[in-house]
Structure 1
Amino acid sequence: MAKILCVLYDDPVNGYPKSYARDGIPKIATYAGGQSVPSPKQIDFKPGALLGSVSGELGLRKFLESQGHTLVVTSDKDAKNSVFDRELPDAEIVISQPFWPAYLTAERIAKAKKLKLAITAGIGSDHVDLEAAVKHGITVAEVTYSNSISVAEHVVMMILAQVRNYIPSYKWVVDGGWNIADCVERAYDLEAMNVGTVGSGRIGLAVLRRLKPFDVKLHYTDRYRLPEAVEKELNLTYHPSVEALVRVCDVVTVNVPLHAETEHLFNDALIGKMKRGAYLINTARGNICDRDAVVRALKSGQLAGYAGDVWYPQPAPKNHPWRTMPHHGMTPHVSGTTLSAQARYAAGTREILECWFDKRPIRDDYLIVDGGKLAGAGAHSYSLRKSA
C-alpha cells in the first residue's frame, strides 16, 4: 500500500465553508479543443465545494483509505522541519498545487527514496525539478486543461482592470469619495489597442478568442505557429520573436510555462523594448518576469501597469516589492483555482491515481515526465537544461 503526501493551501480564516454562494456549477463534458474533461470511475465530492484547501483534501480520502493507502494532507511545506519534509522520505506519491507549491527540489527528491509519482493538481509542474525527476525515474503528471479557461478569464479581467484603472476607482468608493478626475486620469479604452500574447497554447489561444469581441488588434508569438485557419479567424499577427511582439503591443500577456528558456525572460532589456506606457499581464509564473525589473519599469513609467497572480516564491513574503509597487493589480495565485476549476483538477487527480494503482496508462495529455524523459504535454511545453 502507498503513502500519498498531499500539500494544499490553508482553509479560509473563518473556517471551512458550511455553505456556498451558489448551489452548484455548470457541467462541462469536453473542453474547447475536444479533449474530454477528467473521467475517473467516480468522485466522492460535490462539484462546487472547496476542494483545494486542507479540509477539502481534493475529495481523495475516502477513495484512498478504502484501498488501504495512507493519505497525509498538510499546508506546512516551507519552514525548517516542515510536515512536508518530515513525511516525504517514505512517500510514494506527492500531490501539490501551483497555488501553494511544494517545491520538489533536487535535494528533496534525493531524500525521497520511495517517490515514484508527482502529481500537479492543476497546470504547471515547474515546482518539480524536472531534471531530477528524469534522473530518478519519477513520473510527473498534471491535469492539463483543467483550469485553462479559468486562467484565461482572469487574464481578460486583469487587462480591463489595468487599462480602465478599475482598482483605484473602486478604492475611491470604499474610502467614501467621488473623485472622478482621479479615477480617469489613467483610464483608457481597450478598443483599437494592440494586444499580444507570449504563448498561444490552450490559455494563450483562449485569451485571444475572448479578446476578439473587444475590437482590438491581436498579436502572438510561440515556438509553434497556429494553423492558418485560426490566424484568419481571429485576424492574428504572428511574430517570430518576443522582441518583435513587444515593440508593437500596448498590452502584453504572458502565457508560457516556466523553464530554462523563459526564466527571467522579461528583464530590463526586454521591458525596455516595449512601448512606453504598455501594460504587462502575467498569470503564467512569477519567475518569467525579473522581479526588480518590473518594479523599476513601473516607477519610471516604462510600464503603465503590471497585473498578475503569480509570484516567486509562493506564498510571497510580506515584504515582496510587488505588494507595494505602483500601478499594480496583483492577486494571490488564484486564477486557476476557482471552485469550478477545483472540481475538474480534483477529478483529474483522482483519474491519474486510479490509472496508477490499476497499472493503466495515464493520459498522454497529462504526462510531463515519464520513463526517464519529457513525455506527453511535457515534451511539447518544457525544455530541460542542457546539462541535464
Structure 2
Amino acid sequence: MAKVLCVLYDDPINGYPTSYARDDLPRIDQYPSGQSLPTPHDVDFAPGHLLGSVSGELGLRRFLESQGHTLVVTSDKDGADSEFDRELPDADVVISQPFWPAYLTAERIAKASKLKLAITAGIGSDHVDLDAAIEHNVTVAEVTYCNSISVAEHVVMMILSQVRNYLPSYQTVLDGGWNIADCVSRSYDVEGMHVGTVAAGRIGLAVLRRLKPFDTHLHYTDRHRLPQAVEEELGLTFHPTTADMLPACDVVTINAPLHPETKGMFGDELIGTMKRGAYLINTARAKICDRDAVVRALESGQLAGYAGDVWYPQPAPADHPWRTMPHHGMTPHISGSSLSAQSRYAAGTREILESWLAGAPMRPEYLIVHEGKLAGAGAHSYSTAKDHKNG
C-alpha cells in the first residue's frame, strides 16, 4: 500500500465554502492543441468546487482510502519541523501545487528513501530538483495543459490592467475620489503596441492568440520555432533570442519554465535593453527575474509597470519588496488555480495516480522525469544543470 503526501494551500480565512458564486462550469471537450482533458476512471468531487485547499484534498481521499492507501494532506511545508518534513521520509508519492509549492530539494529527496513519484497538480515542476529526481530515479509528472489557458487569460488581464492604469483608478473609487487626471496620467491604449512573449508554448501561444484582436504587433522568441502557418495566421515576428526581441517591444510577457538557462535572465543588463517605459509581465516563475533589478527598473522609470503572480519564496514574506514597489500589479500565485482549472488538475492528478498504482504507462505529455532522465513534456521544456554546464 502507498502513502501519498499532499501539500495544498490553506482553506479560506472564513472557512471552507458551503456555496459558490456559480452553479456549473462550461463544458470543454479538448484543449486547443487537440489534446483531451484528463480522463480518470472516476472523480469524487463536484466540478467548480474549491479542490486546491486543504479541505478540498483534490478530491482524492475516498479513492485512495477505498484501496487501502494512506493520504496525508497538509499546508505546513516550510521549516525543518514542518509536517511535510515529518511525513516525507516514508512517503511513496508527493503531490504539490505550484501555487503553494512543497520544495522538493536535493536534501529532501535524499531523505525520502521510499519516494517514487512527485506529482505537480498543475503545470511547472521547478519546485522539484529535477537533477536529484533523476539521480534517485523519482518519476516527476504534471498535469500538462490543465491550466495553461487560465494563465493566458490572467496574462492578458494584467497587460490591460497595467497599460490602462486600472488598479490605481479602481483604488481612487475605493478611496471616495474622482480625479480623472490622476487616473489617466499613466493610461494608454494597447492598440498598436508591440507585444512579445518569451517562449511560445501552450501559454505563450494562447496569449498571442488572445491579443491578436487588439490590433497589436506580435513578437515571440522560443527555442522551438512555431510552424510558418501559425506565424502567418497571427502575423508573428520571430526573434532568435530574448535579447534580440526586447528592444522592439512595448510589452513583454514571460511564459518560459524556470531552469538553468532562464534563471536570473531578467537582470539590470537585460532590462536595460528594453524600451524605456515598457511593461514586464511575469506569470512564469519569479526567479527568471532578478528581484531587486525589477524594483530598480520601476523606481528609475525604465519599466512603466511590472505585474505577475509568481514570487520567491512562496508564500512571499510580508517584507518582500515586490509588495511595495511602484507601479506594480502583483497578485498571489492564483493565475492557474481558478475553480475551472482546479477541476482539470484534480482530475489529472487522479489520472496520474490511477496509472501509477496500476503499473500502467502515464500519458507521455504528463511526464517530466522518468526512468532517470528528462522525458515527455520535460524533455521538450526543461534542461538540467548538467545540460546547462555542457551547453
Aligned partners of 2:282 and 2:217: how far apart in 1? Answer: 19
Q: How does 1:54-73 map to 2 (within 5 A)?
A: 54-73=54-73
Within 1, Cα distance between the matches of 2:339 and 2:26? 11
Partner residue of 1:116? 116
- Give the corresponding residue for 1:369: 369
Question: Following superposition of structure 1 onto structure 2, how do residues 1-388 of structure 1 map, counting pairs within 5 Å?
Answer: 1-386=1-386
The number of residue pairs the alignment matches comes to 388
Structure 2 SS opposite 1:328: coil
Give the distance between the partners of 2:75 and 2:130, measured in 1 at CA.
22
SS in 2 for 1:318: coil
2:227 and 2:322 mapped to 1: Cα distance?
Answer: 37
Q: Distance in 2 between matches of 1:314 and 1:238?
A: 33
Q: For 1:311 and 1:211, locate their aligned partners in 2 and report how far apart those are by CA, in whole Å.
A: 25
Q: Distance in 2 between matches of 1:265 and 1:38?
A: 33
* Shift, 1:80, TM fit: 3.1
Deviation at 1:27, TM superposition (A): 1.6
Structure 1: which amino acid aligns with 2:245? L
TM-score for both structures, normalised by structure 2: 0.99
Deviation of 1:153 after TM superposition, in Å, equals 0.1
**Higher alpha-carbon deviation: 21-30 or 229-238:** 21-30
CA shift at 1:229, angstroms?
Answer: 0.1
Task: Return the offset for 1:78.
Answer: 0.4
Three-state SS of the structure 2 residue aligned to 1:167 is: helix
What do residues 3-42 of structure 1 show as CA deviations (whole Å, max 9, x unaligned)?
0000000000000000000001112111000000000000
Task: Kindly provide the CA deviation profile for residues 237-260 of structure 1, in whole angstroms up to 9, marking residues without a partner as x.
Answer: 000110111011000000000000
Q: Distance in 2 between matches of 1:360 and 1:38?
A: 15
How many Å separate the matches in 2 of 1:241 and 1:347?
37
Displacement, 1:130? Answer: 0.1
In 2, the alpha carbon distance for the partners of 1:275 and 1:256 equals 21
Provide the secondary structure at the position in 1 that maps to 2:35.
coil
Residue 142 of structure 1 and its aligned partner are, at CA, apart by 0.1
Distance 1:158 1:146 in 2: 20
Separation in 2 of the partners of 1:373 and 1:27? 36
Within 1, Cα distance between the matches of 2:240 and 2:315?
A: 35
1:69, CA displacement in angstroms?
0.2
For 1:79 and 1:111, the matched residues in 2 are separated by 15
1: distance between equivalents of 2:336 and 2:154? 8
Structure 2 CA distance, aligned partners of 1:157 and 1:339?
17
Counterpart residue type for residue 30 of structure 1? Q
Note the alpha carbon deviations across 1:73-126, whole angstroms, 9 max, x for none: 000000330000000000000000000000000000000000000000000000
CA distance in 1, matches of 2:26, 2:192: 33
Match for 1:74: what amino acid?
Answer: T
Q: Show CA shifts across 1:182-219 (max 9, x none).
A: 00000000000000000000000000000000000000
Measured in 1, the distance between the counterparts of 2:277 and 2:50 equals 39
One-letter amino acid matched to 1:368? I
- For the aligned residue pairs, the C-alpha RMSD in angstroms reads 0.7
Task: Find the aligned partners of 2:150 and 2:96 in 1 and give their Cα distance.
Answer: 19
Q: Provide the C-alpha distance between the structure 2 equivalents of 1:290 and 1:361, rounded to a whole number of angstroms.
A: 39
**Secondary structure of 1:68 counterpart:** coil
Q: Which SS does the other structure have where 1:137 is aligned? A: coil
Q: Residues of 2 paired with 1:80 and 1:3: CA distance?
A: 20
- CA distance, structure 2, for counterparts of residue 179 and residue 112 of structure 1: 58
Tell me the distance in 1 between the aligned counterparts of 2:356 and 2:242.
39
Amino acid in structure 1 at the alignment position of 2:148: S
Amino acid at match of 1:355: S
Instruction: Supply the distance in 2 between the matched residues of 1:218 and 1:356 (Cα, whole angstroms).
Output: 41
Quote the offset at 1:354 in angstroms: 0.2
Q: For residue 329 of structure 1, give the secondary structure of its aligned residue in structure 2.
A: coil
Task: Give the letter for the 1:327 counterpart.
Answer: H
Q: State the distance in 2 between where 1:108 and 1:24 align.
A: 40
Q: Distance in 2 between matches of 1:79 and 1:20?
A: 34
Q: List per-residue Cα deviations over 1:279-306 (Å, max 9, x = no partner).
A: 0000000000000000000000000000
- Secondary structure of 1:94's counterpart equals strand
For 1:185, give the aligned amino acid: S
Structure 1-normalised TM-score? 0.99
Partner secondary structure for residue 156 of structure 1 = helix
Alpha-carbon distance between aligned partners in 2 of 1:313 and 1:171, rounded to the nearest angstrom: 28
